[in-house]
């Protein structure tokens, strides 16, 4: 899957604290799942094949609004 195949729900380029594509974001896939971009977290060791990221609460709120929830 490429970034172009995802629907970006948050972080308009040039928005607050965003330069190009380097800010925390939430994306939706064609099958309805989500891809999260954020800072790597070391809070605990996730199972093999999974990862942890931190994203600010305003990013999640923006994603919820974008989805109309």
pLDDT tens-digit series, residues 2-13:
988 999 998 765
Any alpha helices (H) in 1-69, and if so which ranges? 57-67
pLDDT tens-digit series, residues 21-48:
678 899 999 999 999 999 999 999 999 9
- Report phi then psi at 31, rounded to 5: -90, 5
- pLDDT score for 42: 96
Report if pTM > 0.85. Answer: no
The SS3 call for residue 67 is helix
Burial class (CB in 10 A: 0-12, 13-18, 19+), 63: buried
Distance CA 18, CA 15 (A): 5
């Amino acid at each position: 899957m490429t970034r172009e195949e995802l629907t970006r729900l948050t972080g308009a380029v040039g928005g607050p604290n965003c330069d190009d594509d380097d800010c925390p974001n939430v994306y939706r896939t064609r099958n309805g799942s989500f891809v999260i971009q954020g800072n790597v977290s070391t809070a605990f060791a996730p199972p093999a094949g999974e990862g942890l990221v931190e994203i600010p609460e305003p990013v999640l709120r923006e994603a919820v609004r974008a989805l109309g929830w």
